[in-house]
Structure 1
Amino acid sequence: MQGPFNRSGQRRPMAEINVVPFIDVMLVLLVIFMITAPMLNQGVDVDLPQATAEPIDTPDNTEPVIVSVDQDGSYYITLGEDTAAVESDELTKRVSAIIQRSPETPVMVRGDRNVAYGQVVTLMSTLQRSGVANVGLISEPGHDE
């Protein structure tokens, strides 16, 4: 007779593990992550202009400083995963401190396509006064025409 008991009436250990509850939990987590992943937005929501250009190579160990201008003309600074809204004078202080610590840090500008050209030029001159020698511009990949 097969079963969990042997002839002497003692219970033997069961060699099977029921994995169905684990599979159910994993599927629920998968669905949750699939729903929430598109909602995660890194940085500031900026409608970038399109341009056809080659990507810039940056050293692997340096994280770029990204300064964004949204369509309202507000400034945001992103370093790694941290994004903060800043005023023009605070932006100068923060970027100066970063450049003094690590002069090789690349600085990039993300300007909304609806921002006036003068606003982006003013931001670039502010960054150059902060000690940044080269300022890069971030754009969406464009289509060849």
Structure 2
Amino acid sequence: MHGPFHRGGGKKPMGEINVVPFIDVMLVLLVIFMITAPMLTQGVQVDLPQVSSEPLDNDNDNDPIIISVDSEGSYYVTLGEDTTAVSLDEMSERVVAILGRQPNTPVMVRGDRNVQYGQIVVLMSTLQRSGVANVGLLSEPPQDG
């Protein structure tokens, strides 16, 4: 007996989702990110000193303020993705402004290994006068070989 609700041909409705197009899109995105990730170098080229030390725990959700000093002695302020070349006075003003909005933001110094020690001391003294209580120094782990 064939009524209006009878299905002919014995085909059952498919209850599964076809994920093949999703996998194709994800593989294309993976390839794109693998190609573009090495090109996303940010910041200032600084040859950091190499020392063996333990990384610090960052309990803070804010991006750190990174003050970089390159081999020529120029200062750069980095917050998140934004890097700006500044003078020592401008750096102080910028740090004060950022800490006024986000007081718990950590401050880190990246100094090139060829920069004179006195210039790093002047930078840290300027940061202290700007109200920065703790300053971290960035380094790289030693290269084994």
Q: Would the TM-score normalized by the shorter structure come out above 0.5?
A: yes
Q: What are the equivalent positions in structure 2 for 1:124-135 lying under 5 Å apart?
A: 124-135=124-135
Deviation at 1:29, TM superposition (A): 7.2
Q: Which residue of 2 aligns with 1:6?
A: none
Aligned partner of 1:96: which letter? V
Are residues 57 and 27 of structure 1, via their aligned partners in 2, closer, same or farther at CA, if it must alter by over 3 Å? closer
Q: Which residue of 2 aligns with 1:56?
A: 56
In the alignment of these two chains, the number of paired residues is 125
Q: What are the equivalent positions in structure 2 for 1:1-145 lying under 5 Å apart?
A: 33-142=33-142
The whole-number CA distance in structure 2 between the counterparts of 1:30 and 1:57 is: 30
Aligned partner of 2:120: which letter? V
The whole-number CA distance in structure 1 between the counterparts of 2:30 and 2:117 is: 44
The worse-fitting range, judged by mean Cα deviation, of 131-140 and 49-58 is 49-58
Aligned partner of 1:97: which letter? A
- Contact 1:47-1:113 at 8 Å conserved across structures: yes
The whole-number CA distance in structure 2 between the counterparts of 1:74 and 1:130 is: 19
- Contact 1:75-1:85 at 8 Å conserved across structures: yes
The whole-number CA distance in structure 2 between the counterparts of 1:84 and 1:131 is: 21
Report Cα offsets for 1:66-118 as digits up to 9, x if no partner: 00000010000000111111111111101011122222111000001111111
- Contact 1:70-1:115 at 8 Å conserved across structures: yes
- Contact 1:48-1:110 at 8 Å conserved across structures: yes
The whole-number CA distance in structure 2 between the counterparts of 1:30 and 1:104 is: 36
Let me know the Cα RMSD of the aligned residues. 2.4
Are residues 124 and 102 of structure 1, via their aligned partners in 2, closer, same or farther at CA, if it must alter by over 3 Å? same
Deviation at 1:34, TM superposition (A): 4.1
Q: Which residue of 2 aligns with 1:3?
A: none
Aligned partner of 2:122: which letter? T
1:91 alignment partner, SS class: helix
The whole-number CA distance in structure 1 between the counterparts of 2:132 and 2:76 is: 17
Gap regions ≥5 residues in structure 1: 1-18
Sequence identity percentage: 71
